[in-house]
Amino acid sequence: MLKGKNILIGVTGSIAAYKIPLLVRLLVKEGANVKVILTDSARNFVTPLTLSTLTGNPVYSDFFEKNDGTWHSHVEFGNWADVFVIAPVSATTMGKMVNGIADNLLVATYLAAKCPVYIAPAMDVDMFLHPSTQKNIERLKSFGNILIEPETGELASGLSGPGRLQEPETITEIIKSHFQKKKDFKGKRVLISAGPTYELIDPVRFIGNFSSGRMGYAIAEAMAERGAEVELISGPVELIPVNTSINLTRVTSAGEMFEACKNKLEWADVIIMAAAVADYTPTTASKIKIKKKEDSLSVKLKPTVDILKYLGENKSTQQVLVGFALETDNELENAKNKLKNKNLDLIVLNSLKDEGAGFGHSTNKVTFIDKYGAVNEMELKQKYEVASDLADKLKNIL
Ligand code: CTP
C-alpha cells in the first residue's frame, strides 16, 4: 500500500516516543521508505540505533555529522518526503513550529517541507489543555498541518485525560488513507475566492470585516489535494497555501477581486466564492490622511459590484457556481433566495447563531442547499472537513 512512498518521521522528547519503533516497523512492512529525525531530547526516550536498524536508514539529529562535518540538509529532507509525520510532538516543539524557531534539524526541516505535515501531540492532560498548547495547535492547523488527535486515557504520569499519543496502528491507517485519497478532481479547474476585502477611506484607513480566509484556503487545499488545478484569489489575510500547486493572486479591494475573478471566469469549471466581499466602498478614497476635526465625519459609500451575481449572469451552463451566505436570521429562506437570484448551483449557508461557526473559528457548521432543492444540514466540523464535504457535494453536481 505504501510502496515507494517517502515518509519522514520527526520524533520529539516525550515518553510516548517508545511507540515510534513500532510505527516505523508497520510503515516499513507496508513498503514505505522511512527516515527519522530525532530532537536531542527524543534521544533520551528512543535510541537512534533501534530506529536506524528498523528503517535501514541513518537517523538524524544535527545539522552536521559530528565526526566528519557532513552537512545534513533540512531542505533536502523536506523535498524528499511525501509526507512528514511529527509524532510525538511535544508542547515545546509545537511552540517552536508556530514561531519559526528553527534551532534544531526537526523544526528547520518542518519550515522547509513542501509536503503535508501531520502532528500527533502527546503530553500530560494539563499541558495539553493549557490555552498556550491549544492556541498553538489552532495556529498549526491554520498553517494547514493536520492534527492526529491524542487519545483520552491513562497517561504515563498516572493522570487521566486527553494527551495520549495515538496508537502506531491508528497512525499507520491515517497515513495509508492519506495516500488513498481520491484524485477525483483531476483535470478540473477550480477558481476560489477567500478572505475579506479592504475598502480604502484614505491611505491609512479602510472598511473591512472579520473574515480570516480559513474557509476559502481550506477549500483550495482540499481541491488541490484531490487533483484540481486551483486559482485562489485572496483578500488580505496572513495565510499562505500549503499545497504548492495552488496559484495565489492577492488582492485588496472588492474592485480588484472582481477584476481577478472576471479574468478567470472562462477558464474555470467550478467557481467558489468564499470571500467576504464588501458590499459598499467609499465613493472616493482621500489621497491624503484625513485629519481629525471637532465635528462629526461622514464617509459616503457606493455599492461594489456583486461579483457572485455577475458570475451567475455570465457563466455557461457547464460551469458550476457556488456561493456562501452568512446569515443571522431567516437563514434558510435568505439562502434559498440568494441561490435563485444569483443563478447558483449550490449555496453554503453559515448561521452566526451557531456556536463555533463563521468568522475566526477553525470550525464551521454549514448547510448545503443545491439548485435541485436538496438541503443538507451538516455537523460542526473542522474547516478542512467542511471543505472535503463541499468537494464531495460538488462531485455529485458535476
Ligand atoms: N459576494 C460577492 N460580491 C459582493 C458581495 C458578496 O461576490 N460584492 C458573494 C460572497 O462571496 C458570498 C455571497 O456573495 O459568496 C454572499 O454574500 P452576502 O453578503 O451574504 O450576500 P448579499 O447578496 O450581499 O446579501 P446581504 O449582504 O444583503 O445578505
Do residues 370 and 390 touch, judged by C-beta distance below 8 A? no
Ligand 1 centroid, distance to 122 Cα (angstroms): 42
Quick check: 243 pLDDT over 90?
no
Residue nearest (by alpha carbon) to ligand 1 atom 8: 306
Report the C-alpha gap between 268 and 44 in whole angstroms. 53
Confidence of residue 177 (pLDDT cuts 50, 70, 90): confident
Residue nearest (by alpha carbon) to ligand 1 atom 18: 325
Q: What pLDDT is stored for residue 67 in this prediction? A: 65
Mean pLDDT of the 61-83 span: 79
Q: What pLDDT is stored for residue 157 in this prediction? A: 74
Strand ranges across the sheet with 320-327 = 247-250, 229-234, 189-194, 270-273, 320-327, 346-351, 366-370, 375-377
User: What CATH homologous superfamily does 6-181 map to?
Assistant: Flavin prenyltransferase-like (3.40.50.1950)
Which residues are tagged catalytic? 209
Per-residue pLDDT tens over the stretch 9-40 = 999 999 999 999 999 999 999 999 999 999 99
Q: Could you identify the atom of ligand 1 that is nearest to the CA of residue 305?
A: 8
Helix/strand/coil for 314: helix
Confidence of residue 62 (pLDDT cuts 50, 70, 90): confident
Does 323 contact ligand 1 (Cβ within 6 A)? yes
Confidence of residue 198 (pLDDT cuts 50, 70, 90): very high
- Helix count and strand count (H, E) for the chain: 13, 22
Report the C-alpha gap between 237 and 92 in whole angstroms. 27
User: What CATH homologous superfamily does 189-397 map to?
Assistant: CoaB-like (3.40.50.10300)
Residue nearest (by alpha carbon) to ligand 1 atom 27: 279
Mean pLDDT of the 296-320 span: 96
Confidence of residue 127 (pLDDT cuts 50, 70, 90): very high
User: For residue 241, is the peptide bond before it cis, meaning its omega torsion is within 30 degrees of 0?
Assistant: no
* Percent share of the chain, pLDDT over 70: 97
Do residues 338 and 344 touch, judged by C-beta distance below 8 A? yes
Ligand 1 centroid, distance to 355 Cα (angstroms): 22
Q: What pLDDT is stored for residue 68 in this prediction? A: 63
Report the C-alpha gap between 387 and 362 in whole angstroms. 12
Quote the cell numbers at residue 190: 477550480
pTM over 0.75: no
Residues comprising the chain, all counted = 398
Quick check: 266 pLDDT over 70?
yes
Q: What pLDDT is stored for residue 259 in this prediction? A: 98
Q: What pLDDT is stored for residue 66 in this prediction? A: 66
Dihedral of alpha carbons 330, 331, 332, 333, sign: positive
Quote the cell numbers at residue 344: 447558483
The domain ranges of the chain are 6-181, 189-397
Confidence of residue 114 (pLDDT cuts 50, 70, 90): confident
Confidence of residue 261 (pLDDT cuts 50, 70, 90): very high
**Nearest-CA neighbor of 115 among 270, 258, 8, 247?**
8
Q: What pLDDT is stored for residue 294 in this prediction? A: 81
* Domains 6-181 and 189-397 belong to one CATH topology: yes
Q: What pLDDT is stored for residue 361 in this prediction? A: 67
